[in-house]
Amino acid sequence: MESQDESAPLSNEPLYNPHLLQRLDMAKCKTRFDPPISPNQPGEGLIMRPLCPADYDKGFVQLLCQLTKVGEVSRNQFLRRYATMKECPNTYYVTVIEDMTTSQIVASATLVVEQKFIHDCAVRGRLEDVVVSDDYRGKQLGKLIITVVTLLAQHLNCYKITLDCKDTMIPFYSRLGYKLEPCSSNYMQIRFENS
């Protein structure tokens, strides 16, 4: 992708088909929302939808800084990464909640769908990069976006969805149906120095 003029408006092209979110059957999940909220009605002035290029100017990168170290991501870096994701069909489902009154992204969660040979060439989901902006916490948005991304994985025929989290987050994810597998999985990693 060529470098874009910094002042040019960015596109609203969704990373994935937004109808996927509207088609999800919330009755399939055990999580209850009080007051009721849903992907179509996440709250007053809020909208849930796939990530789009224009989200760079709506604080998407700044939101991720509330999750982990992000670094200085320029507009062009962001657009190139978005384009790379878009070129991998049926793989990246970065989902956001925008506050339409402020034009700011206030929550995000990503489903990555991995193609496998095992289990008859199945697909598995990974839940990544869950974050709700400080000012919007405690309004069930974390619960909602995780529930939606989890249902999306099921809808896309993933045979399972997994996540990594700190010990302190285990009760939070347990309440959303995620289970620890203490005897069968040990999370191991090598961290490379430059990452």
Ligand X SMILES: CC(C)(COP(=O)(O)OP(=O)(O)OC[C@H]1O[C@@H](n2cnc3c(N)ncnc32)[C@H](O)[C@@H]1OP(=O)(O)O)[C@@H](O)C(=O)NCCC(=O)NCCS
Per-residue b or e along 15-41, where b marks 16 or more CB atoms closer than 10 Å to that residue's CB: bbebebbeebebeebeeeeeeebbbee
Q: CB 61 → ligand X: shortest distance, Å?
A: 15
Contact with ligand X (CB under 6 A) among 39, 50, 53, 142: 142
Considering only residues 1, 70, 169, 180, which one is a binding residue for ligand X as defined by CB under 6 A?
Answer: 169
Closest to 107 measured CA to CA, from 74, 153, 151, 138: 138
Question: In the numeric block, which tokens belong to residue 156?
Answer: 């896309």
Pairing of strands 158-162, 92-99: unpaired
Q: How far is the CB of 97 from ligand X (least distance, A)?
A: 10
- Please, which residue, 113 or 131, has the CB nearer to ligand X? 131
Q: Rank residues 100 and 165 by Cβ distance to ligand X and give the closer one.
A: 165
Q: How many residues bind ligand X (CB under 6 A)?
A: 17
Q: Is residue 126 within the footprint of ligand X (CB under 6 A)?
A: no
From CA 65, how far away is CA 189, in angstroms rounded? 23
Span from 9-17, 18-26, 115-123, 163-171 in contact with ligand X (CB under 6 A): 163-171
Return the number of the residue (121 or 188) whose C-beta is nearest ligand X: 188
What secondary structure, in 3-state letters, does 63-110 show? HHCCCCCCCCCCHHHHHHHHHHHHCCCCCEEEEEEEECCCCEEEEEEE
Residue placing its CB nearer to ligand X in the complex, 67 or 83: 67
Nearest C-alpha neighbor of 147 from the set 111, 179, 120: 111
Tell the smallest beta-carbon distance from residue 129 to ligand X (Å): 8
Whichever of 48 and 79 has its CB closer to ligand X, that residue is 48
61-80 residues near ligand X, rule: CB under 6 A: 66-67
Distance CA 88, CA 81 (A): 11
The stretch among 21-29, 88-96, 133-141, 150-158 that binds ligand X (CB under 6 A) is 133-141
CA dist., res. 55 & res. 99, Å (int):
12
Residue nearest to ligand X (CB): 142
